[in-house]
Structure 1
């Protein structure tokens, strides 16, 4: 049964549009997932300026998980990672006590690209909020896949359906990518306290109620949920055990308000290391004056 349907709120990030679902006024989190964006879909022409890229910015107290349906993005971070991410692969970045990163559309800049993907933030347990930052990339072939007639699924992170991924999660959760053919059915089990399904493409019937693309259906606890595809659909299912209240401001997540204030002060004062290949630009704290223009942009 559906408890709540949340629409994605479209937001222009300066040449690239996202649909933001979490956090919402009526639902701050689903299990440990405190943020959920649908990036695109967007057709980016060859020669796009660097201003379309997501410039270096900081995080604390969370892990980000980036997963693409189409296109390519290059990730760079302050622990030395530089990694292209392609459809079906997982970028899992643990911010912990603090990390900075950027996301670049290098393929699109060189030859044009169609980009469609998801980025979620997962809160860390209080004991892990100040963990060492880190980054893990997992190829599509390493992720558990499953299927039946009309259904193809991949477990992106966590555990579900008797499967577990190599992605190093810090608390009980699951994150699934489902492709359903027209008329196909899939029963999402009730094995996690919090669950939701986001319709990335097409339209799906959730326990008899239709949910259109760009909407997230938050599900009732304790019972399996029946999904029925109307046309070909792409669905992301996610959830897990709640971790308790979290403060979220800009790119910072913490169980303590004062820790977020410290992170803001550290970013403003330049005390957070930038990625080695991105030391010449950054996104300022909201409300601060913009940095000088980069002549290479």
Structure 2
């Protein structure tokens, strides 16, 4: 949701945990009653595997006529992944897709050479308070796939693999873990999971992903004796065995990462590319109205930022 004008995140204080490469404290913006925390990208940490963008939305309750109304806007060179804990969002895009995403579902929209979409609170729910809580991430497309044809995939919550042990439970959103495999499409090796550690439980961080990070959502986590509160992004060194412990209240976090892309990516507004020239081309195409329209949402759009 790059349309949110969040300031850049900041790095946290140096931690004594040697396995933590980067500690990021997200910057927070209030957008019409919806609090949004942006943790990626930063000046010192642009990517974790293919993840180049991480926004925590809410939790919030939209009241008094407020609603999520993200007008049509373009993307290139990435996949957006929307995952909700509470509330509903209606997605429309220039492929003709119309889909309401619900808690536990996954919307994966691959922009490739170009797509336009809007994200709004469903019209039929606007006459009552509307809860909204979730995470939206971007996955940068790898070399050779940045200009593929755009497509949209929706996966219902029951289709996602789940696990439950004495210490933790969770849902595998993308990738492979604990012998499970998610049906969600991936264009590069990716790991993405919703993890809940039970009170006083422990979670062993998988070492299979080349790059790994967590974003803490609720409850404190302890790593090698150091305690980290909610709303922190912790990126770990490759290959280190990490044990994440929860206190008596338990803990909830997102686990994400995957294979490093191996080449630089540039980000400007909603555009991601390995080429600055390609981003300039996309800017001109949006300015001149050359992107496709969104059926059912043709009247409005977000202008190119000055």
Shorter-chain TM range is over 0.9
Deviations 1:204-231 (CA, angstroms, capped at 9, x unpaired): 1133321211111111111221111121
Aligned CA-pair RMSD: 1.4
Match of 1:187 in 2: 204
Tell me if the contact between 2:50 and 2:139 (Cα under 8 Å) persists in the aligned partners: yes
Aligned pairs for 1:101-120 (under 5 A) are 101-106=117-122, 108-120=125-137
1:278 aligns with 2:259: no
Compared with structure 1, are the counterparts of its residues 225 and 54 closer, same or farther at alpha carbon in structure 2 (3 Å cutoff)? same
Report the Cα distance in structure 1 between the residues aligned to 2:50 and 2:109, rounded to whole angstroms.
Answer: 15
For residue 277 of structure 1, give the secondary structure of its aligned residue in structure 2. coil
Report the Cα distance in structure 2 between the residues aligned to 1:70 and 1:206, rounded to whole angstroms.
Answer: 29
Match of 1:42 in 2: 60
Stretch deviating more after TM superposition (213-222 or 202-211): 202-211
Match of 1:293 in 2: none
Tell me the CA shift for residue 16 of structure 1. 2.3
Match of 1:10 in 2: 28
Tell me if the contact between 1:30 and 1:239 (Cα under 8 Å) persists in the aligned partners: yes
1:165 aligns with 2:182: yes
Tell me if the contact between 2:32 and 2:66 (Cα under 8 Å) persists in the aligned partners: no
For residue 127 of structure 1, give the secondary structure of its aligned residue in structure 2. coil
Tell me if the contact between 1:159 and 1:172 (Cα under 8 Å) persists in the aligned partners: no
Aligned pairs for 1:1-297 (under 5 A) are 1-45=19-63, 47-48=65-66, 52-106=68-122, 108-230=125-247, 231-243=249-261, 244-287=263-306
More helix by share: 1
Report the Cα distance in structure 1 between the residues aligned to 2:163 and 2:224, rounded to whole angstroms.
Answer: 22
Report the Cα distance in structure 1 between the residues aligned to 2:224 and 2:102, rounded to whole angstroms.
Answer: 33
Compared with structure 1, are the counterparts of its residues 155 and 264 closer, same or farther at alpha carbon in structure 2 (3 Å cutoff)? same
Tell me the CA shift for residue 166 of structure 1. 1.0
Structure 2, unaligned runs of 5 or more: 1-18
TM-score, normalised via structure 1 length: 0.92
Deviations 1:67-119 (CA, angstroms, capped at 9, x unpaired): 01111111111111111111111000000000011111126523222211000
For residue 250 of structure 2, give the secondary structure of its aligned residue in structure 1. strand
Report the Cα distance in structure 2 between the residues aligned to 1:267 and 1:201, rounded to whole angstroms.
Answer: 39
Deviations 1:234-265 (CA, angstroms, capped at 9, x unpaired): 11000011112100000000011100000000
Compared with structure 1, are the counterparts of its residues 30 and 89 closer, same or farther at alpha carbon in structure 2 (3 Å cutoff)? same
Tell me if the contact between 2:215 and 2:233 (Cα under 8 Å) persists in the aligned partners: yes
How many matched pairs?
Answer: 285
Tell me the CA shift for residue 194 of structure 1. 0.5
Stretch deviating more after TM superposition (104-113 or 56-65): 104-113
Tell me if the contact between 2:106 and 2:157 (Cα under 8 Å) persists in the aligned partners: yes
Report the Cα distance in structure 1 between the residues aligned to 2:130 and 2:255, rounded to whole angstroms.
Answer: 26
For residue 282 of structure 1, give the secondary structure of its aligned residue in structure 2. coil
Tell me the CA shift for residue 199 of structure 1. 0.4
For residue 144 of structure 2, give the secondary structure of its aligned residue in structure 1. helix
Tell me if the contact between 2:106 and 2:155 (Cα under 8 Å) persists in the aligned partners: yes
Report the Cα distance in structure 1 between the residues aligned to 2:20 and 2:125, rounded to whole angstroms.
Answer: 38
Tell me if the contact between 1:203 and 1:233 (Cα under 8 Å) persists in the aligned partners: yes
